[in-house]
Structure 1
Amino acid sequence: MWPRSVPTGTGPSSSSTTPGCSPRSSARSPPPSERRPVSTPAGEASATAAPTATVRELLPLLRPHRRALAVAAVLSLVAAAGALAQPALVARVIEAVGAGRELLPAVLVLVAVLVAASVLGALQQYLLQRTAEGVVLSTRRTLADRLLRLPVAEYDRRRTGDLMSRVGADTTLLRATVTSGVVEVAGSAVVAVGAVVAMALVDGWLLLVTVLSVGVGLTVVLSVSRGVRRLSQQAQEEVGAMSAAVERALSAVRTIRASGATAREVDVVAASAGRAYAAGVRVARLEALVSPAGSIAVQGAFLAVLGLGGYRVATGSIAVADLVAFILYLFLLVMPLGQAIAAWTQLQSGLGALARIQEMLALEPEDDARPERGSVAVPPSPVAVPASSPSPGVPLLELEDVTFAYPDGTEVLHGVSLTVPAGSRVALVGPSGAGKSTVLALVEGFYPLTGGSVRWAGTDVRDLPRAGLRARLGYVEQEAPVLAGSVRDNLLLAAPRASDPELWAVLADVGLTEMVQRSPRGLDVPVGDDGVLLSGGERQRLAIARSLLARPALLLLDEPTASLDARNEALLRDTLAAAGADRALLVVAHRLSTVLGSDEIVVLDAGRAVARGTHHELVDTSPLYRELAAAQLLV
């Protein structure tokens, strides 16, 4: 029984995680009476509650790349100066033609400036593209690190597909934000300001007409862009919800096929995709208003300049060369202005995605090196946590009056106490939903206690670094998560320095040698996504082998024989008996045959320890245990 999730804006889900496992692969389904509500689509619930992001939040992502951005900014300024010089050089060429002077020097200077500006522009674009890739890379690394270090309860609240969308789709939008956003806006502003100054020097009346025409278009663009960020964030939320729907269907595709539910699931995904489409169309509809507004402003400015400029040339107020230069400066104003408008719109979309990224980065990660209620970090080494009890009278693990409740106040465990001496074998049995798996989750420190204490070798686990404590524990969940990759990859997860002989030895202990040797690839034989190429029993035995390889002081086993046949169950019992010779075992079991030889069996019912003793003692003293044993023909 897993602790229930807290209702949040994004909605809970049935995903949880263990160290080194993806949330999806480690999710365990609670009993029907305790199932969590299905997560709501992210776009429906969290769009109003999600935080917003500004350019200021984007700056920390750019700070590691400030040198490249500074070079790009300098190149932008130089290229802008070259662009601003071109109309003046064109005017000189026209004047030379009119005066009958030699054209070659002026033309050579114009061509040199044009080529230099183009080369510098290309170099600037390369730097921006490379910087953008660097920003995406660093953001993905930071976000992945945060997602894998969140408290386990956070995975219960969120859908795995939505989290994956934040690492993939949301971070990708930052690329365009950097290349077409901040620096582009700055460079375009420099060119625009320079063009306005040059236009003022040529003719003030023409500049006034230009500013009035362009100002109308800018007013419309700025008012429209205010809604782009909000709608873009909603669109990203819907994309995340769609990714979650696809992940949900693919993770259970065999069940869906067997249930004849393929068409219905296709409809569910299609509906989610439709909502993402509708959100994207809303963004596109708003962005589409930008182009007409800009075009009207530009066309109006050109017509006004041509009309007024032609009149002023006719009256002799300005020369033809000055009018040509002004029109070229107008081009220089309009081009960066259009780029700035597009960049500003792209920036709003990027900030919408950044808000979803910041929402994850704002969550407090679980610090493995810091005790739960300590303020000083401890080096993440198992040396900080003893491997055995300090004295014979102190048990290796002790739960004293442990109480655990859901965040809504519903209690799961009520004053549970038990001890696991070093080298002993203790079993937890009881009906489904009694709280057995929750006990193991609390020992691992996945959830905070509501009351009571869990002590390791006499020390409260809340005073021990999580990494050190977990290094002393081996944990095998009932679903036995297997990571995509090879058998070797899965075994080395908990013991990265183990040698091949050690890997083969632990495979022999759990009866997997023959299965691995069937493939010419041996230890490198692939297991498929979530171990789909293995049988349920093979996945469970591989997970057990992974834990045994780490040589933990205490092995936590949740239904270790749930997917095993009688032959392999007997083999595993022998393996656990051998493993228990030098380590303690805490086993959750529905099959009582697995735990008949335990030193102590604790019977849980409705979150309470109602009986304890050996098998024979409980058959005589516990009606519930006797009922369970009779149902399995053990009495």
Structure 2
Amino acid sequence: MSALHPSRERLLAGALRRQRRPILLACALLTLTLLAGSGLLALAGHFLTAAALAGALAMGFNLFGPSAGIRGLTFIRILSRYGEKLIGHDATLRIARDLRAGFFARLLPQAPLGLGGHRVGDLLARLMADIERADGLLVRAAGPLVGLAALAATAVACSTWVLPAAGGLLALAIALLGIAVPLAVGWNTRQAEARRAQARADLHAAVLEGLEGAADLAALQATAPWVARTLAHSGQLREAEGARRRRLALGTALHALVAAFTLPAMLWLVLDATSRHALSAPMAAGLFFLAVAVLEAMAGVGLAWQHGAAALEAERRLERVAAQPTSLADPAQPRAPAPGAQSLMLSGVWFQWPGQPRALLRGLDLVIAPGQRIALRGDSGAGKSSLMALLLRLADPTAGQLRYGGVALRQFSQAAWHQQIAWLPQDAQVLAGSVRENLLLGAPDASDAQLWHALSQVRLQAHFQQHADGLDAWIGESGITLSAGQSRRLALARALLRQAPLLLLDEPTEGLDVDTAHALLRDLAVAARGRSVVIITHDPLPAGVVDASYRLMEGQLLREC
């Protein structure tokens, strides 16, 4: 399965399916824990009552059987609870891993062009907070509900066998606590959880955008309005959280009300049965304490329902982004690009973005020979970025063909085509990490010798050789420990490491002074020798950097002298 074309199975369903064995084992252990805990309380009540009635010196009282049972249930409860926590939380972490990896993989085909309608903070909220709630479906919702259902069925069956009236009363209380109360409290839980999740995402987006644009906010004296908006989002989240707590408090109160009527009624039933000699006193005590244990355990139903609703809403939010269809698809029988440098040809290429009134590219014809370096210029909006999107095959032309080595790009899988490309985007990121980690993004299997060679190609080798940590020298967030020129050179070294036959550069000298930019371009001309190079730029280029220069005007490519 290609990373760019992952399975269309729902994210959470796929993650749960892959972890189904530990999930089933965790649910079984949780059920055993609940059964052992309730059985322990019932057996203890039976044992203590029987011992009290028998007296301290009574002969023939079976002391060892019940005490052994109590010890056994205690050990079972301890071990099963430990196992359930160990296996359940391990499965939850694996589910979270699968959700994040799957969500990220589903975003990859959309990331360059299809996520423009989403705020970064909202995407971050989905990637972090929503996945955190979705992965808790097992340990916070499904597992407890399955265990409580098994406990309820067992307790009702045992109570009915001992005293049918007590079994009926317990069944009624469980139906109220497990079904009626959650429905009464959470009749609009889905809408409430949707509002809560959206308020959380809005707050994340506002905070992130404020941090990223702090300098602009200060310069424009717009900090106060941003703080006001952030406080408003915080208030909305506080209101949503308060509504959730009120629902939980109401559920707790209704649970206490049901228990307040059920336990006296149960006590009356078992005492009446004892007075009629229909039930022994120890059995009556055991039955009563079983009811106490079950009602106490059922207190977790409301919280489990709330967690379940939150997890399902989080899963819906993830799917709304991840399930967006992509405009590109791999062919049923993809062809492999020919090895080595090949010619890249554009024939009658037209391109118009969906929903836009006019075509940006109109009948483009261009041939890039193997090893040729060309420059593309044009005013803003002339179509340079659209042409780059076609070369990267992030979009397909509306009409016409792009061919590589005589084969249409549509006949290659995206993964195979991207192996032919080394790309330096306009906003190439230098990440917080070491020099080595930044370079290995371009070629994960590159040796230290190859890393040093790439640095030498962009004249950074001497700089890092002087550093005590060499390739392990730390680079701050966004390359803060480097100058702008050094950051661009490091990003270029990362692209050169790919050893791809086609090098695409989008505004490689953006933000650099003229001397630094020209030095970088001259180094590039040497380092990229033998590769085809396409440079999109507004800036003048030094002599000898490119073999030909073109200008995009009114959707056409014009050769510059």
Settle same-fold status: TM greater than 0.5.
yes
- Which residue number corresponds to residue 347 of structure 1? 308
2:94 aligned with 1:94: no
Q: CA deviation at 1:296?
A: 0.7
CA-to-aligned-CA distance 1:512-569 (integer Å, 9 cap, x gap): 3454345322333233222233333222222222222333323222222333323223
Task: Go from structure 1 to structure 2 and tell me whether the alpha carbon gap of 1:71 and 1:582 turns closer, same or farther (over 3 Å shift).
Answer: closer
Q: Give a deviation string over 1:284-338, Cα, whole Å, max 9, x none.
A: 3333321111111111112333345555555666554343233112113212322
Shift in CA distance, 556/595, structure 1 to aligned 2, threshold 3 Å:
farther
Structure 1 residue 152 displacement after superposition: 2.6
Aligned equivalent of 1:469: 417
Could you tell me how far 1:203 is from its partner in structure 2? 2.9
| TM superposition shift of 1:76 | 4.5
Distance 1:151 1:593, change over 3 A: closer
Q: Distance in 2 between matches of 1:201 and 1:477?
A: 74
CA distance in 2, matches of 1:87, 1:467: 63
CA distance, structure 2, for counterparts of residue 282 and residue 459 of structure 1: 60
CA contact (8 A) 2:347 2:364 kept: yes
Shift in alpha-carbon separation, 1:493–1:136, aligned structure 2, 3 A: closer
CA distance in 2, matches of 1:211, 1:244: 48
1:96 & 1:246 partners in 2: Cα distance? 64
**Which letter does structure 1 place at the counterpart of 2:15?**
L
Answer yes or no: is 1:591 the counterpart of 2:543. no
Equivalent residue letter for 1:444: L
Q: Does 1:545 align with 2:493?
A: yes
Question: Alpha-carbon deviation of 1:260?
Answer: 4.2
Aligned to 2:251, which of 274, 290, 296? 290
User: Aligned-pair distance for 1:103?
Assistant: 5.0
Instruction: Measure the CA separation in 1 of the matches of 2:544 and 2:215.
Output: 35
Give the TM-score normalised by structure 2. 0.86
State how many pairs are aligned.
546
Partner-residue secondary structure (3-state), 2:423: strand
Q: Which of 3, 20, 25 is residue 66 of structure 1 equivalent to?
A: 20
8 Å Cα contact 1:213/1:297 also seen in 2: yes
Taking structure 1 as the reference length, the TM-score comes to: 0.77
Cα distance in structure 1, aligned partners of 2:33 and 2:526: 75
Kept after mapping to 1: 8 A contact 2:23/2:138: no
Alignment partner for residue 497 of structure 1, among 431, 445, 461? 445
Match of 2:95 among 135, 143, 161: 135
1:429/1:603 contact within 8 Å kept: yes
Given that 1:228 and 1:286 are in contact with CA atoms closer than 8 Å, whether structure 2 keeps it comes out as: no
Structure 2 vs 1, CA of residues 165 and 81 (structure 1 numbering), >3 Å: closer, same or farther? closer
Residue in 2 that maps onto 1:376:
333
**What does residue 353 of structure 2 align with?**
406
| Kept in 1: contact 2:345–2:402 (CA 8 A) | yes
Gaps of 5+ in 2: 5-9
Cα distance in 1, alignment partners of residues 84 and 371 from structure 2:
66
| Counterpart-to-counterpart distance in 1, 2:525 and 2:321 | 44
CA distance in 1, matches of 2:208, 2:391: 30
The answer to whether the Cα contact below 8 Å between 1:397 and 1:457 also exists between their aligned partners in 2 is yes
Task: Decide whether aligned partners of structure 1 residues 539 and 86 sit closer, same or farther in structure 2, where only a CA change above 3 A counts.
Answer: closer
Matches within 5 A, 1:190-339: 190-212=150-172, 215-217=175-177, 218-307=179-268, 309-310=270-271, 313=274, 318-339=279-300
Query: Does the 8 Å CA contact 2:122/2:201 hold for their aligned counterparts?
Result: yes
Distance 2:74 2:315 in 1: 37
Distance 1:268 1:508, change over 3 A: farther
Q: Structure 1, residues 10-68: CA drift from partner, whole Å, max 9, x if none? A: xxxxxxxxx99xxxxxxxxxxxxxxxxxxxxxxxxxxxxxxxx9xxx855433333333
Q: 1:173 aligns with which of 97, 111, 133?
A: 133
Counterpart of 2:7 in structure 1 is: none
What's the secondary structure of 2:346's corresponding residue? strand
Query: Structure 2 vs 1, CA of residues 376 and 266 (structure 1 numbering), >3 Å: closer, same or farther?
Result: farther
Q: Is the 8 A contact 1:151 1:446 kept in 2?
A: no
Corresponding residue for residue 75 of structure 2: 116
Specify the code of the residue in structure 2 equivalent to 1:115: T
CA drift of 1:485 comes to 1.8
CA drift of 1:397 comes to 1.6
Aligned pair in 2 of structure 1 residues 296, 545: CA closer, same or farther (>3 Å)?
Answer: same
Match for 1:574: what amino acid?
R
1:154 aligns with 2:110: no
The structure 1 residue matched to 2:402, chosen from 446, 454, 477, is 454
2:375 is paired with a residue of what secondary structure? strand
SS across alignment from 1:586: strand
Q: What residue is the counterpart of 1:486 in the other structure?
A: 434
Distance 1:528 1:301, change over 3 A: same
Query: How far apart are the structure 1 equivalents of 2:489 and 2:47?
Result: 84
User: Which residue type is aligned with residue 406 of structure 1?
Assistant: W
- Structure 1 range deviating more: 75-84 or 119-128: 75-84
- Preserved contact between residue 496 and residue 528 of structure 2 (Cα < 8 Å): no
Give the gaps of 5 or more residues in structure 1. 1-18, 21-52, 390-395, 615-635
Distance 1:208 1:598, change over 3 A: closer
Q: Deviations over 1:236-271 (max 9, x none)?
A: 233233223333233334444444444443334333
Go from structure 1 to structure 2 and tell me whether the alpha carbon gap of 1:584 and 1:98 turns closer, same or farther (over 3 Å shift): closer
1:84 paired to 2:43:
no
> Per the alignment, do residues 351 and 495 of structure 1 end up closer, same or farther by CA in structure 2, a change over 3 Å counting?
same
1:78 Cα offset (Å): 4.5
1:453 is paired with a residue of what secondary structure?
strand
> C-alpha displacement at 1:573, in angstroms?
3.7
Q: Could you tell me whether the CA contact under 8 Å between 1:404 and 1:449 is conserved in 2?
A: yes
Question: Aligned partners of 1:79, 1:598: CA distance in 2, in Å?
Answer: 73
Contact persistence 1:75–1:120 (CA under 8 A): no
| SS at structure 2 position matched to 1:325 | helix
- 1:187 equivalent to 2:147? Answer yes
Secondary structure at the aligned position of 2:102 is classed as: helix
Contact 2:43/2:66, CA 8 A, preserved across alignment:
no
When residues 412 and 548 of structure 1 are mapped into structure 2, their CA distance, relative to the original with a 3 A threshold, is: same
- Residues 58 and 422 (structure 1 numbering): CA distance in 2 closer, same or farther, change over 3 Å? closer
Is 341-350 or 88-97 further displaced after alignment?
88-97
The residue type equivalent to 1:400 in the other structure is: S
Q: CA contact under 8 A between 2:133 and 2:311: conserved in structure 1? A: yes
- Return the alpha-carbon distance in structure 2 between the equivalents of residues 265 and 125 of structure 1: 43
